[in-house]
Structure 1
Amino acid sequence: MKTNQGTQEFWGKKNYPLFTVVLFLLLATTTLVSLMVGRFEVPPLDVISAILSSFMPRPDLSPTIRSVIVDVRLPRVIAVILVGAALSVAGTAFQGLFRNPLVSPDILGVSAGAGFGAAIALLLTENIVATQTLAFITGIIAVGLAYGISRVYKINNTITLVLAGIVVGALFQALTSLVKYVADPLNKLPAIVFWLMGSFNHVSAQDLVVAAPILLSGMAVLYLIRWRINLLSMGEEDAKALGVNIEHLKITIIVSATVISAAAVSICGIVGWIGLVIPHAGRIFVGPDHKLLVPVAALIGASYLLIVDTVARTVTMTEIPIGIITALIGAPVFAYLLMKTQAGWR
């Protein structure tokens, strides 16, 4: 704990601007490397030239290089950055809302609901737009059901909401299993299973046009109210005493985190552990103050998921589903972080 406190004191209070600059540089470096590597390797100067060619003519640039960077890799890299940041911010907000370090963005069933919607769409059609749209809608519906169930009880607290989310998540997971059971094992089932394991393989610029505004808007809302999350972390009674409209704040956090989580899942499938682990990593450096933690979690999450995605598409001849790698890394890292922070996560 003394080590954590020293780290938080150094980065979170004394050198926070420097720390954010370091994280931005890490993200920029990771982005450049991700654009460079792959089956078709591209030198760094050509990567920069290809990106600039979108704004000014570059007749000396190979059309192949431009196509690889601008049409294939750049949309994917941007999507990975947005999803990594969004899931990290959503996880940070939910952990502050529920005052529980074991909470992740899918605690209210958004991932299970989105997975069911995607499975239904893949069963009935191969249209990627239909798959993403239905995944987004059913993710929102799942959280709406969880919130509706929690409102049935006169005792309105976060524990009831979490339990309702677990029930709804289990229901949609069962429905997804049913869809997989009836799916054609040769033509439909592999696509459903691969999507549920998470991948950015099919992300295009058109997907970003729809998803990016949703992700950025949700993150912006959570960023603007991040100081209020600190008040929730003190306890609802204390927050009420300070004049905070608890119910309004809860709904704002839940809606914002749910929307960005559903949008993230709709474009890349289910990517676990990001929203659970990254907030803990951020707390090690800057402590539990959400005014500092939310931006740091976004930057760490973006860089982390970008590294994982780069490994997923380059380490073998065939792309590894990103959800597998995040789980393999996330589980032991989370266990280590729990031992390191112990009971002092707040």
Structure 2
Amino acid sequence: MAFPTKSRFNKPKQSAAGSRLYFLLLAAPVIAMCLGLAWGRYPVEITDILRILGSKLGFPVNDVSSGVLETVVLKVRLPRILAAMLIGGGLSVSGAAFQGLFRNPLVSPYILGVASGAGFGAALGIVIWNQPVMIQGCAFLFGITAVAAAWLMSRVYKSSGTMIIVLGGVIVGAFFQSLLSLVKYMADPDDKLPVIVYWLMGSLASISMKDLYTILLPMLISIVFLLLVRWRLNVLSFGDEEARTLGVEAGRLRVSVILGVTVITASAVSVSGIIGWVGLVVPHLARMLVGPDYMKLIPTSLALGACYLVFIDGLARNISAAEIPLGILTATVGAPFFAWLLARGKTGWA
């Protein structure tokens, strides 16, 4: 008599374990936010954080915290923690979407030149106006312009393939990078140049709730859109012909995803500067945990990216007396970790 194999007995248990892991990852950003609010040179207890947030949200709690404690939690740490969660999650979702769209595990949200365009726009805004609103506006505008130029280049060459779009992004990125170098060369070395260099390294040190409000709506709309079409990314990752046979219009979907990712990335770069490696490393970590299915991969990348950038921001605030730019830390942490992922050879790609 044939007996059921061990794998058949273990299958429901593995499925239940996978579900618990999936829901734990979705709850992780809330835990990361609380820990991020408590972590700093001015120590704050978790209970005090919950009382402060609860009182502001209208819950019947006995808030006995001091004014200094409220200032630290609500005005200093909360804006940058929320910004880190939004930017980290947005860049991670964008990287996961682009890796599936272009069927390339080495693609990041900056592949189409949005970082170079936004960097040039921000440098131009610093040199001409040096006002936060104008710097953010120029960075967003030129980031969108760079991606639009890469897309138009693919139209000029009458090719709908993804390779020509990526090549167009490389060309446009190099062009805006040269313009950025020109602006840095002409900038005042004692006044404007240090500001440009520091902005390009990425930081949330000067973020405020007003800055957060300016990017909240476009980023949330684009993230929700990517969440809604994530099942279509599964189909698109098999190629245009397979997607067409399954009733998915590959061309329109590709344009929509590129637009959504561009809005997320340009919005993030406009307020935080260029923070690399998040959109490249985090999606691979998510694949290790939940596999290549985009129904789970996109939400998991969102949760992990939010937690990751909160952790990096905590390091930036606490490991030295002077705050370290985020771009330096994400590269320092992300590059060895990505090398470790490649050495394992189990990234879960496709």
Q: What range is the shorter-chain TM-score in?
A: over 0.9
Kindly state the Cα deviation for residue 59 of structure 1 after the two structures are TM-superposed.
Answer: 6.3
Secondary structure in structure 1 of the residue aligned to 2:137 = helix
Distance, in Å, in 1 between the alignment partners of 2:13 and 2:27 is 16
Distance, in Å, in 2 between the alignment partners of 1:14 and 1:342 is 22
Determine if the alignment matches structure 1 residue 332 to structure 2 residue 339.
no
Determine if the alignment matches structure 1 residue 118 to structure 2 residue 122.
yes
Which residue identity does 1:19 align to in structure 2?
L
Alpha-carbon RMSD: 1.8
Kindly state the Cα deviation for residue 155 of structure 1 after the two structures are TM-superposed.
Answer: 2.6
Secondary structure in structure 2 of the residue aligned to 1:104 = coil
Kindly state the Cα deviation for residue 13 of structure 1 after the two structures are TM-superposed.
Answer: 4.5
Counterpart pick for 2:101 among 97, 100, 104: 97
Given that residues 291 and 348 in structure 2 are in contact (C-alpha distance below 8 angstroms), is that contact kept between their aligned partners in structure 1? Answer: no
Kindly state the Cα deviation for residue 111 of structure 1 after the two structures are TM-superposed.
Answer: 0.8
Given that residues 22 and 290 in structure 2 are in contact (C-alpha distance below 8 angstroms), is that contact kept between their aligned partners in structure 1? Answer: no
Given that residues 236 and 246 in structure 1 are in contact (C-alpha distance below 8 angstroms), is that contact kept between their aligned partners in structure 2? Answer: yes
Answer with 15-24 or 180-189: which moved more. Answer: 15-24
Task: Give the paired residue count.
Answer: 338
Counterpart for residue 186 of structure 1:
190
Counterpart pick for 1:52 among 54, 64, 83: 54
Kindly state the Cα deviation for residue 343 of structure 1 after the two structures are TM-superposed.
Answer: 8.4
Q: Given the superposition, is the C-alpha separation of residues 12 and 265 from structure 1 closer, same or farther in structure 2, using an over 3 Å criterion?
A: farther
Q: Given the superposition, is the C-alpha separation of residues 247 and 32 from structure 1 closer, same or farther in structure 2, using an over 3 Å criterion?
A: same
Secondary structure in structure 1 of the residue aligned to 2:56 = coil
Given that residues 292 and 348 in structure 2 are in contact (C-alpha distance below 8 angstroms), is that contact kept between their aligned partners in structure 1? Answer: no
Which residue identity does 1:43 align to in structure 2?
E
Aligned residue runs from structure 1 range 23-34, under 5 A: 23-34=25-36
Counterpart pick for 1:70 among 62, 67, 74: 74
Counterpart pick for 1:219 among 184, 201, 223: 223
1:269-316 CA-partner distances (Å, limit 9, x unpaired):
000001111111011111111001000011111111110110001110
Q: Given the superposition, is the C-alpha separation of residues 19 and 168 from structure 1 closer, same or farther in structure 2, using an over 3 Å criterion?
A: same
Determine if the alignment matches structure 1 residue 131 to structure 2 residue 135.
yes
TM-score when normalising by structure 2? 0.92
Q: Given the superposition, is the C-alpha separation of residues 142 and 66 from structure 1 closer, same or farther in structure 2, using an over 3 Å criterion?
A: same
Given that residues 32 and 310 in structure 2 are in contact (C-alpha distance below 8 angstroms), is that contact kept between their aligned partners in structure 1? Answer: yes
Counterpart pick for 1:299 among 296, 300, 303: 303
Q: Given the superposition, is the C-alpha separation of residues 13 and 172 from structure 1 closer, same or farther in structure 2, using an over 3 Å criterion?
A: farther
Distance, in Å, in 1 between the alignment partners of 2:291 and 2:300 is 10
Distance, in Å, in 1 between the alignment partners of 2:13 and 2:96 is 18
Answer with 17-26 or 247-256: which moved more. Answer: 17-26
Counterpart for residue 39 of structure 1:
41
Aligned residue runs from structure 1 range 201-280, under 5 A: 201-280=205-284
Distance, in Å, in 1 between the alignment partners of 2:303 and 2:279 is 13
Answer with 87-96 or 119-128: which moved more. Answer: 119-128
Distance, in Å, in 2 between the alignment partners of 1:288 and 1:259 is 24
Answer with 185-194 or 18-27: which moved more. Answer: 18-27
Kindly state the Cα deviation for residue 124 of structure 1 after the two structures are TM-superposed.
Answer: 1.5
Which residue identity does 2:179 align to in structure 1?
L
1:155-187 CA-partner distances (Å, limit 9, x unpaired):
321000000000000111111111111111111
Given that residues 11 and 19 in structure 1 are in contact (C-alpha distance below 8 angstroms), is that contact kept between their aligned partners in structure 2? Answer: no
Given that residues 12 and 287 in structure 1 are in contact (C-alpha distance below 8 angstroms), is that contact kept between their aligned partners in structure 2? Answer: no
Secondary structure in structure 2 of the residue aligned to 1:324 = helix
Kindly state the Cα deviation for residue 38 of structure 1 after the two structures are TM-superposed.
Answer: 1.9
Kindly state the Cα deviation for residue 128 of structure 1 after the two structures are TM-superposed.
Answer: 0.8
1:78-137 CA-partner distances (Å, limit 9, x unpaired):
000000100000000000000000000000001111111111111122211111111111
Distance, in Å, in 1 between the alignment partners of 2:300 and 2:13 is 11
Distance, in Å, in 2 between the alignment partners of 1:291 and 1:198 is 31
Gapped regions of structure 1 (runs ≥ 5): 1-8
Given that residues 37 and 73 in structure 2 are in contact (C-alpha distance below 8 angstroms), is that contact kept between their aligned partners in structure 1? Answer: yes
1:303-338 CA-partner distances (Å, limit 9, x unpaired):
111101100011101100000000011111112212
Counterpart for residue 22 of structure 1:
24
Which residue identity does 1:262 align to in structure 2?
A
Counterpart pick for 1:161 among 139, 146, 165: 165
Given that residues 114 and 266 in structure 1 are in contact (C-alpha distance below 8 angstroms), is that contact kept between their aligned partners in structure 2? Answer: yes
Secondary structure in structure 1 of the residue aligned to 2:138 = helix
Kindly state the Cα deviation for residue 58 of structure 1 after the two structures are TM-superposed.
Answer: 6.3
Kindly state the Cα deviation for residue 217 of structure 1 after the two structures are TM-superposed.
Answer: 0.7
Which residue identity does 1:40 align to in structure 2?
Y
Identity across aligned pairs (percent)?
Answer: 45
Distance, in Å, in 2 between the alignment partners of 1:59 and 1:111 is 43
Determine if the alignment matches structure 1 residue 319 to structure 2 residue 337.
no
Given that residues 108 and 162 in structure 1 are in contact (C-alpha distance below 8 angstroms), is that contact kept between their aligned partners in structure 2? Answer: yes
Secondary structure in structure 2 of the residue aligned to 1:39 = coil
Answer with 16-25 or 44-53: which moved more. Answer: 16-25
